Structure 1
Amino acid sequence: MSVAEPRRIVLFRHAKADWPQVSDHERPLAERGRKDAPVAGRKLADTGISFDLALCSTAARTRETWKLAVHELPHRPKTVYEERVYEASPGELIAVLNEIPEDVQNVILIGHNPGVQGLTEILAGQSEGDAHQRMSRRGFPTSAFAVLTFQGPWKSVEPGVGTLIDYWAPGGA
């Protein structure tokens, strides 16, 4: 692996959560979320990306989303549950990405809105095909994900560095 090869960042919003009488951090998935997460996992598998690392928020709904989605992948990446991803701003998420070890080629970050959508928009200096139009039309609903590529070391991740190459959301796009 060399930094000359494009790296991939997949930004994945957790599946639909329920609203029981628990703290926000402990909210579980709703029935729809438990159905959508494996579908998103199959769509992630369809991208053909072999993830080296998964960075997942510590919130119950993100952990549950990832647990259901990862079973659909042909290869299970190392998973790190990262407290800083919960309620993170795009800038805070960039700081987390900047710390990824250089031997990691492809990463998936499982997080929350508005941070995940904001980070996608900030990183995507360019777009291929109609990915940006589809994302603009759909927004970033639960279980959606965006695939970005960039060149260089992880510490160089900053606004505009990436190319949005794919976007998927349940129910179309």
Structure 2
Amino acid sequence: MRRLILMRHAKSDWSHGTSDHDRPLNARGRGAAQALGNWLRAEALLPDAVLCSTAARTRETCARLALPEGCRVEYLRELYLAEPDQIITSLRQRGTGNTLLLVAHNPGIAAAAAGLLQQPPEQEAFDRYPSGATTVMDFPVESWADVAPGCGVLHAFTVPKQLV
């Protein structure tokens, strides 16, 4: 069994005037990332490893989750604005541990979540996949290399608005 947590980065700050890749989180996003980390701990959903886009907003989201010290984080340029096929390829090739968190961007992360699930949650927020949206799904496979579209079983879905 493998558990995948797909998270869109928290709300970013458009006022900085930096490149898209260097855009940080805004105050609301910083609070949302902390709330998501609290939710992961409360629900016993802490990952063994993380695959994260190299963008500033995904890195900051990941850092503010306050994951356990032993959790291995790998930053991948290939996840920056990645299409769903690239997201799935990255997790198949680089996934480690039993529970993996992948932090990336829309629209790719939303499409990957929808494509991997057998049945998506019946929540309007899932269709929008707003900043901080997080889907947790389980796969009855031995290896991350065996993860396939339409095989994930929904375990949980949340958005920061539900947590704050």
State the alpha-carbon separation in 1 of the partners of residues 126 and 55 from structure 2.
Answer: 28
Match of 1:94 in 2: 88
Q: Which amino acid aligns with 2:133?
A: A
Match of 1:146 among 132, 135, 141: 135
> 1:108 and 1:31, CA in 2 relative to 1: closer, same or farther beyond 3 A?
same
> 1:26 and 1:118, CA in 2 relative to 1: closer, same or farther beyond 3 A?
same
Q: Does 1:49 align with 2:49?
A: no
CA shift for structure 1 position 74: 4.9
Q: Which amino acid aligns with 1:18?
A: D
TM-score (norm 1): 0.86
Match of 2:155 in 1: 165
Aligned-residue Cα RMSD (Å) equals 1.8
**Deviations 1:97-146, CA, capped at 9 Å, x for gaps:** 11135x6211000111111111110000135xxxx012556621111200
State the alpha-carbon separation in 2 of the partners of residues 35 and 51 from structure 1.
Answer: 20
State the alpha-carbon separation in 1 of the partners of residues 158 and 152 from structure 2.
Answer: 17
> 1:137 and 1:8, CA in 2 relative to 1: closer, same or farther beyond 3 A?
closer
Match of 2:26 in 1: 30
CA shift for structure 1 position 76: 4.5
CA shift for structure 1 position 172: 2.2
* Structure in which a larger fraction of residues adopt helix: 2
State the alpha-carbon separation in 2 of the partners of residues 96 and 116 from structure 1.
Answer: 12
Q: Is the 8 A contact 2:53 2:77 kept in 1?
A: yes
> 1:167 and 1:17, CA in 2 relative to 1: closer, same or farther beyond 3 A?
same
Q: Which amino acid aligns with 2:3?
A: R
Segments of 5+ residues of structure 1 without an aligned counterpart are 1-5
* Counterpart secondary structure, 2:47: coil
State the alpha-carbon separation in 2 of the partners of residues 136 and 17 from structure 1.
Answer: 18
**Corresponding pairs, count:** 161
Identical pairs, percent: 37
Q: Which amino acid aligns with 1:141?
A: P
State the alpha-carbon separation in 2 of the partners of residues 165 and 157 from structure 1.
Answer: 16
CA shift for structure 1 position 21: 1.3
Q: Is the 8 A contact 2:135 2:157 kept in 1?
A: yes
Q: Is the 8 A contact 1:45 1:74 kept in 2?
A: no
TM-score (norm 2): 0.90
**Deviations 1:67-96, CA, capped at 9 Å, x for gaps:** 111x2x456410001111111011001110
Q: Does 1:119 align with 2:116?
A: no
Match of 1:3 in 2: none
Q: Is the 8 A contact 1:54 1:80 kept in 2?
A: yes
Q: Does 1:66 align with 2:55?
A: no
